[in-house]
A and B are shown apart, each in its own frame.
Chain A
């Protein structure tokens, strides 16, 4: 225990040093908001990756892999191919060039300037500010659960302690401090995940034997999961079953596509000097994300095999029914002591790197885009915004129920995709995209997503209870014939409906409406 505390303190020391370096180098708003637009490609890619992958991915989705098995590897594929390759090349380069021409420092400002619309900027800022605390809370819960299991700290104390540390360097050092610490934290995460996967496979006698062992465990799948459609950890779920819909529409599709419109990631494209840095970041990012999501999902699934081999139990039973505790329990009971100490650091790193970026983007959305878009004190307004975002995330972290990490993350990713992706993507590539098209698409996508969530999607509709209060039924489709496609809609993620609708609205309204001023479009494309 003493060693764990000492190592954690040493880690905190380095984080504070890097935070101090960021603070020393932050002199103007561009430094605070965009790290001075001169970030090294390694730092940029590690920061992007470490922000993207958090305890949500490792503990939350790793735990989901412990429950659902290898289908989550599709999410690994999407996070690399869509989240790194397409994102950096297709979105990153254009965002950087257009953002520079339009003088943008934040994602809402980018959308607002692209469409010459204060409404779009404020609307985007409002959505980010209101909902990123939910996502941040999911990350906080992940690391607090880890500390609860590893150090025996109380859950509430863990949450309060971590946010206090983060508040210091995010509020003072801005994006420079966030990115420097992210790169350090990302490096720790990469090394730990590599050790984790090698050790896990070695425990099970190699890749082939490990996968075969897990395949043979299919009859041990809990009855409740079998009833939901699960066949086995390497076999996946029956097509069209409730769990198949949850895995593929919420976890894989929602997050895999949602990554393209994440404001805290998009802003990083604008922190580098040229395309060269983004090209190099593709290389670093591809390796990093494979080490993160690939390892988390493989080890999550294989934890069943290891637990069964060592203790005769499957993962969810070892974690006492809480999916979010599968990975922490695995680390504590299976891995050597020295590893659990260092892995705790890696999880600290994963949580802090994502949280710092979430607090930063939430704060800049409030301070720079909502409250003081024209004022010269963007830096101070953003600092206050960061403080408010932190407080909101703390409240969410204390009230959200167990086993919520993966779902809350998927919720934010899906919401961003429905509200922002069509306006963002078409704004980058289509000169005919109009201000009205963007407005209708953003509001339409957001509204559709929220309505689906409140009245159709079972998990949230039941928890929130608005549908029950208004219509006397848990969801609007729960009384349809069981097994019918209408009945199954309650397991279909909001994004499956909201994103295509948002895209349709963007294209149809833009085609029907008046094009934007030629001069402005020319300015937008001046660097492209």
Chain B
């Protein structure tokens, strides 16, 4: 039973990844505001 759950959850998580990828295929998110190099070290 436990192993069957692991088996199906593995397949389910793969389908989740596929679904998310298709859903967000063209979503680039908000554009980056800052692309400068900041190197603040002590």
Question: Is A206 positioned at the interface, with any CB of B under 8 Å from its CB?
Answer: no
Given known A85-B20, A103-B38, A280-B21, contact A526–B3 (CB-CB < 8 A): no
Interface residues of A in 70-116 (CB under 8 A from B): 70-71, 73-74, 76-77, 80-81, 84-85, 89, 93, 97, 100-103, 112-113, 116
Interface residues of B in 1-20 (CB under 8 A from A): 2-3, 6-7, 9-11, 13-18, 20
Question: Is A520 positioned at the interface, with any CB of B under 8 Å from its CB?
Answer: yes
Structural contact, B27 and A80, CB atoms closer than 8 A = no
A84 to B20, CA, bound (A): 11
Structural contact, B10 and A84, CB atoms closer than 8 A = no
Q: Per-residue CB proximity of B26-41 to A under 8 Å, as 1/0?
A: 1111011111111111
Looking across the interface, which residue of chain A has its beta carbon closest to that of B23?
A: A279
Q: How large is the interface on B (under 10, 10 to 19, 20 to 34, 35 or more residues)?
A: 20 to 34
B20 CB to closest chain A CB (Å) equals 5
A279 to B7, CA, bound (A): 25
Q: How large is the interface on A (under 10, 10 to 19, 20 to 34, 35 or more residues)?
A: 35 or more
Structural contact, B27 and A76, CB atoms closer than 8 A = no
Given known A73-B10, A80-B10, contact A85–B16 (CB-CB < 8 A): yes
A290 to B14, CA, bound (A): 7
Please name all residues of chain A whose beta carbon is closer than 8 Å to the beta carbon of B37 when the two chains form the complex: 102-103
Interface residues of A in 507-528 (CB under 8 A from B): 520, 523, 526-527
Please name all residues of chain A whose beta carbon is closer than 8 Å to the beta carbon of B27 when the two chains form the complex: 275-276, 279
Looking across the interface, which residue of chain A has its beta carbon closest to that of B37?
A: A103
Q: Which of B10, B22, B35, B39 gathers the greatest number of chain A CB atoms within 10 Å?
A: B10
Given known A77-B10, A85-B13, A236-B2, contact A113–B29 (CB-CB < 8 A): no
B36 CB to closest chain A CB (Å) equals 7
Looking across the interface, which residue of chain A has its beta carbon closest to that of B15?
A: A286
A407 to B25, CA, bound (A): 37
Interface residues of A in 248-290 (CB under 8 A from B): 274-276, 279-287, 289-290
| Among all A-B residue pairs, the 6 with the closest Cβ atoms | A283-B21, A286-B17, A103-B37, A275-B29, A279-B24, A73-B6
Q: Chain B residues in contact with chain A, CB under 8 A?
A: 2-3, 6-7, 9-11, 13-18, 20-22, 24-29, 31-42
